[in-house]
């Protein structure tokens, strides 16, 4: 019976890893839509968001069923509870990619980003997708060291976000208030996406060690 239960836990981890992959792909495509003013890619991300929502529902149903069937304790209980929290963060990552895609669609056929800002978002998109892909591997392999390394990539995202904000706040900013608002919101979306990816990795550390690393709250999208 316990062996079958652990097979179920492995399947739950695979479901979460698949959600990670979906969220990574969503942000990758949303970033390309943003940088290339590609309406088709933006629409693809928007249309596929429901699949990420459905995947969260499926993960949660699976987790609650495992709680009800086996009343797990110790590591097994941590695994199921962490999966529920991780599924929420992964859905929010998908939502943040959705926000990026909607911004690209809203301004089409005009570009959202001024030319001088584009390199920041190219880098932020790269870091965001890398974080999500690494979180996927952390989930699949329960790799505590890789989980901890995600914080370094998150620091890179925070640095990019600070640099971006300093550019927007420069008194010589030539692109107007509407553009500054767009860029500020988009920068926040990428920063929060990275925070959620790190939160997912920290949940895995909690499962393996029984201790939650220093935690950055993820209450809001």
Burial 89-110 (b: 16+ CB within 10 A, else e): bbbbbbbbbbbbbbbbbebeee
Residues 6+ apart with CB under 8 A from 68: none
Sign of CA dihedral 103, 108, 114, 117: positive
Distance from C-alpha of 66 to C-alpha of 103, rounded to nearest angstrom: 39
The pLDDT of residue 4: 80
Kindly tell me the burial class for residue 172, based on how many C-beta atoms sit within 10 Å of its own C-beta (0-12, 13-18, 19 or more): exposed
Contact (Cβ atoms closer than 8 angstroms) between residue 82 and residue 147: no
The pLDDT of residue 68: 87
**Three-class secondary structure of residue 170 per DSSP:** coil
Torsion from C-alpha of 140, 145, 147, 151, nearest 10 degrees: -160
Distance from C-alpha of 43 to C-alpha of 38, rounded to nearest angstrom: 9
The pLDDT of residue 1: 52
pLDDT tens column, 153-209: 999 999 999 999 999 999 889 999 999 999 999 999 999 999 999 999 999 999 998
Helix (H) or strand (E) holding 162: helix 144-169
The pLDDT of residue 218: 47
Distance from C-alpha of 199 to C-alpha of 197, rounded to nearest angstrom: 5
In angstroms, the Cα distances linking 187 to 58, 64, 96, 169 are 30, 35, 11, 13
Distance from C-alpha of 121 to C-alpha of 183, rounded to nearest angstrom: 9
The pLDDT of residue 217: 46
Of 207, 196, 202, which is closest to residue 81 (Cα–Cα)?
Answer: 207
Distance from C-alpha of 83 to C-alpha of 140, rounded to nearest angstrom: 12
Give every residue of the chain whose pLDDT is below 50, as ranges: 215-221
In angstroms, the Cα distances linking 75 to 6, 47, 81, 204, 209 are 11, 37, 10, 11, 9
The pLDDT of residue 73: 79
pTM: 0.92
């Amino acid at each position: 019976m316990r062996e079958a239960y652990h097979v179920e836990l492995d399947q739950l981890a695979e479901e979460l890893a698949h959600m990670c992959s979906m969220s990574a792909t969503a942000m990758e495509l949303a970033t390309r839509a943003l940088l290339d003013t590609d309406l088709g890619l933006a629409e693809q991300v928007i249309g596929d968001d429901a699949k990420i929502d459905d995947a969260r529902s499926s993960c949660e149903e699976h987790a609650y069923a495992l709680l009800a069937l086996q009343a797990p304790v110790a590591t097994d209980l941590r695994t199921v509870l962490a999966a529920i929290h991780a599924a929420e963060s992964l859905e929010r990552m998908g939502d943040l990619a959705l926000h990026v895609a909607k911004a690209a669609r809203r301004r089409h056929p005009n570009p959202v980003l001024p030319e001088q800002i584009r390199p920041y978002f190219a880098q932020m998109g790269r870091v965001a997708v890398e974080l999500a892909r690494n979180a996927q591997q952390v989930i699949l392999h329960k790799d505590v060291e890789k989980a901890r390394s995600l914080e370094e990539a998150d620091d890179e995202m925070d640095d990019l976000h600070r640099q971006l904000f300093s550019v927007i706040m420069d008194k010589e900013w030539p692109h107007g208030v509407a553009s500054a608002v767009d860029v500020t919101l988009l920068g926040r979306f990428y920063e929060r996406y990275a925070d959620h990816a790190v939160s997912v990795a920290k949940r895995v550390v909690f499962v393996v060690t029984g201790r939650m690393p220093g935690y950055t709250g993820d209450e809001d999208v």
